[in-house]
Amino acid sequence: MSMGCRLAAVIGALACIPVPACGGSPLPRPVTQPVSSAPAAAAAPTPPAIAAAAPAAEPILTASLAGRVTAAETSAPVARARIILTSAALPAPRVAISAADGAYRFDRLPAGDYSVSASRGGFAAQEYGERRSGVAVPVKLADGQALDGIDFALAPAGVIVGQIRDEDDKPFTGATVEALVSRTQQGQPRLVAIASTQSDDRGEFRLTGLPAGQYYVTAFDPAFTNVGDETGVLRYTPTYYPGVPYVEQAERVSVVPNADSKRLVFRLRIVRPARVSGTIGTEDSRQLITGAVIMSPIHGEGLSAVPSQDVMILPDGSFSFKNVPPGNYQIRARGETDPQGTSSFATFRILVEGHDITNLVMTLLPGASVEGTVSLEAGRAAAAPAVTGLRVRAPFTDGTSFGDSLTGTVQADGSYRIRGIMPGNHVIIVEGLPESWVLKSVVYRGHDITDVGLDADRNERHQDVRITVTDAASEIAGVVHDAKGAPVVDATVMIIPIAPQFWRPTSRRFALLHTDAAGRYRIKGLPPGEYRALASIEIDETEAYDREMLAALIRTGAPVSLEELARLTLDLPLTSPSAARRALTRQ
């Protein structure tokens, strides 16, 4: 195998850059037609007649869709709201205007999947079934179906106003100004635009239709949208309020509807994206057989990853990251010189300020190792399944990736060995467990470290770390329903421990999951304790572990007292965290 297939470099996530193999499939053989031996004067045969295509069947227009638009805070009907209906089954979108009682209706519709949105001045626009992630569940309509109850409760909207100035402190005309919030996309936090506008000839801007919350405000010179230099394409990033190039230095702006908005004035800065390059290697200069480099922002939610075409690592250990936005970063590297040896690691922190950083040298040092046994304790099953196929991992306690080598495969006798973890505190987890089995305990030197984690340093060898897995565990299951009692698909369910020390992504005491197509959820293996449970379609994973938000949410969640091996049925109403967000914006 080419070494290029085993070396990877990426910012914000780990990925392998494949090297295409030489050769490939043979080219298809050409199709030839035999040449007629008839004399040239012979008449050509009459081509067959082409049958006319049958006309396409007309769609059946027997379905209907209806609902009502109200104000979320008062439940009063909202008249003259615009409801827009789109679908691949329609030749063009349809629009309806709500009546005085807030009602609207669409008739003569074909079957299909529909997107329905509503808007009205003074309210935040809304798409039916919209999730906090920005993805809405489509409305399915069958032939002849009369679907009612597609209702909207529009939240009052706030505004953000201000002025953009250039680096000479003059009003800047034509800047793209956006209000951003953090969302989870493909498992990673990203800053997503909720509203966008352009500054006028006085540099003034006004962002409207914003629901209550906290936003990042950015300004960008559109002249730098698609540019480059002799090195290739350059991907410039915006300026964040209050005029800083780093997202971690940005100040979030609180929006409270029906309240005076703070006027924002800041300068737009043009900061060239940088290139960061260097090499990874070992103290004894041995050849690496595998290697990977990751560069992640130390602070700042939603920092976009550098596109894969801007990341490169070569078999000699040299690496480069192009188009790196300004900010504070941590570079982590991992490599191996022996297929059965311990992985080595290195870390390096840098500040990127628009200038290239080159010739970084990262010396890999051996990490710690963890070894022990995995035992399966059958409580409800007749027999325990085989342990082969399981893998023991040791991610960082704070959820940061790249903390351990991808080893730890459990052998037939239950033994495992993780050949390399970085210095720091790690939690022990088991991957590949059957659905009904959960982690019961991790014991090291006579202490249960399941919740506290394992402290590791370079060259340490942690032996006899005993892991117990069981199918005898607590279980909470139920259905999430809306105000009308209908099940809610893809709702976020949170089971939050009362104790704040467990508010982290890797805690086994914190449950975050989504309902299935029937609105059902099930969580197994929560330890005994006191919890709060809630369900919402407005909560995103990026705020699910925000400590201030969690402190507000547990006041509204349903209390759960969980005993060992308890099985609870807990149906949850769909709730909105809007009150918690408003409380945070007023702080």
Q: What is the 3-state secondary structure (H, E, C) of 130-186?
A: ECCCCCECCEEECCCCEECCCCEEECECEEEEEEEECCCCCECCCCEEEEEEEEEEC
Residues 6+ apart with CB under 8 A from 51: none
pLDDT-based confidence at residue 36 (cuts at 50, 70, 90): very low
- Contact predicate 73/114, CB 8 Å: no
User: Does residue 223 have a pLDDT over 80?
Assistant: yes
User: Does residue 1 have a pLDDT over 50?
Assistant: no
pLDDT score recorded for residue 44: 46
User: Does residue 162 have a pLDDT over 90?
Assistant: yes
Instruction: Domain 159-267: give its CATH code.
Output: 2.60.40.1120
Q: Which of 128, 127, 144 is nearest to 64 (CA)?
A: 144
pLDDT score recorded for residue 389: 86
User: Does residue 197 have a pLDDT over 60?
Assistant: yes
User: Does residue 14 have a pLDDT over 50?
Assistant: no
Q: Which of 173, 161, 167, 353 is nearest to 268 (CA)?
A: 167
Q: 273-365: CATH homologous superfamily?
A: Immunoglobulins (2.60.40.10)
Whole-number mean pLDDT of the chain? 84
Mean pLDDT lowest for which of 321-335, 366-380, 387-401, 405-419? 387-401
Mean predicted confidence (pLDDT) in 495-510: 92
Q: Which of 189, 167, 166, 197 is nearest to 248 (CA)?
A: 189
Tell me the two tokens of residue 556. 């509204």
The residues with which 33 forms a beta bridge, in sequence order, are none
pLDDT-based confidence at residue 2 (cuts at 50, 70, 90): very low
pLDDT-based confidence at residue 254 (cuts at 50, 70, 90): confident
- Taking the C-alpha atoms of residue 6 and residue 315, their distance in angstroms, rounded to an integer, is 9
Mean predicted confidence (pLDDT) in 225-240: 90
User: Does residue 251 have a pLDDT over 60?
Assistant: yes
Listing from the earlier edge strand, what are the strands of the sheet with 158-165? 204-210, 158-165, 263-267
Tell me the two tokens of residue 129. 């079934």
- Taking the C-alpha atoms of residue 521 and residue 506, their distance in angstroms, rounded to an integer, is 20
Answering whether pTM is above 0.75, one says no
User: Does residue 243 have a pLDDT over 60?
Assistant: yes
Mean predicted confidence (pLDDT) in 363-391: 87
Domain 63-154 has CATH 3.40.190.170: no
pLDDT score recorded for residue 22: 34
Q: How much of the chain exceeds pLDDT 90, in percent?
A: 51
* Cα angle 222-226-227, degrees, rounded to a multiple of 5: 105
pLDDT score recorded for residue 403: 80
Mean predicted confidence (pLDDT) in 449-459: 93
Which helix H or strand E contains 444, and what residues bound it?
strand 438-444
Q: Would you tell me how many other CB atoms lie within 10 Å of the CB of residue 300?
A: 20
Q: Which of 474, 564, 483 is nearest to 511 (CA)?
A: 474
Radius of gyration of the chain, Cα coordinates, nearest whole angstrom: 29
User: Does residue 43 have a pLDDT over 60?
Assistant: no
User: Does residue 460 have a pLDDT over 80?
Assistant: yes
Mean predicted confidence (pLDDT) in 56-63: 76
Residues 6+ apart with CB under 8 A from 518: 479, 487, 489
- Taking the C-alpha atoms of residue 496 and residue 502, their distance in angstroms, rounded to an integer, is 9
The residues with which 146 forms a beta bridge, in sequence order, are 64
Residue 364: which region, alpha, beta or left (left: phi > 0; alpha: psi -120 to 50)?
A: beta
- Contact predicate 205/162, CB 8 Å: yes
Number of residues that this document lists for the chain: 587
Instruction: Indicate the SS3 state at residue 100.
Output: coil
Q: Which of 181, 120, 179, 180 is nearest to 153 (CA)?
A: 120
Mean predicted confidence (pLDDT) in 142-161: 92
Which burial class, exposed, middle or buried, applies to 270 when counting CB atoms under 10 A from its CB (0-12, 13-18, 19+)? middle
Which helix H or strand E contains 393, and what residues bound it?
strand 391-393
- Taking the C-alpha atoms of residue 27 and residue 403, their distance in angstroms, rounded to an integer, is 45
Q: What are phi and psi of 402, to 5 degrees?
A: 70, 20
pLDDT-based confidence at residue 582 (cuts at 50, 70, 90): low
pLDDT-based confidence at residue 401 (cuts at 50, 70, 90): low
CA dihedral 40, 42, 45, 46 (to 10 degrees): 110
- Contact predicate 505/534, CB 8 Å: no
DSSP strand pairing (327-336 vs 290-297): antiparallel
> Which residue has better confidence, 282 or 10?
282
pLDDT score recorded for residue 32: 33
Mean predicted confidence (pLDDT) in 231-236: 88
User: Does residue 4 have a pLDDT over 60?
Assistant: no
Q: Could you tell me the CA-to-CA distances from 214 to 93, 258, 584 in Å, in that order?
A: 32, 15, 9
The residues with which 438 forms a beta bridge, in sequence order, are 470
pLDDT score recorded for residue 179: 95
Mean predicted confidence (pLDDT) in 424-450: 92
- Write down the domain spans for the chain: 63-154, 159-267, 273-365, 368-470, 475-585
pLDDT score recorded for residue 30: 34
Q: Which amino acid is at 98?
A: S
Q: Which of 455, 553, 532, 541 is nearest to 505 (CA)?
A: 541
User: Does residue 232 have a pLDDT over 70?
Assistant: yes
pLDDT-based confidence at residue 106 (cuts at 50, 70, 90): very high
Architecture of domain 368-470: Sandwich (2.60)
> Do 63-154 and 475-585 fold alike per CATH?
yes
Mean predicted confidence (pLDDT) in 368-378: 93
Mean pLDDT lowest for which of 44-58, 113-127, 296-310? 44-58
Which helix H or strand E contains 317, and what residues bound it?
none
Instruction: Indicate the SS3 state at residue 547.
Output: helix
Mean predicted confidence (pLDDT) in 458-480: 93
Architecture of domain 475-585: Sandwich (2.60)
pLDDT-based confidence at residue 565 (cuts at 50, 70, 90): confident
pLDDT score recorded for residue 63: 94
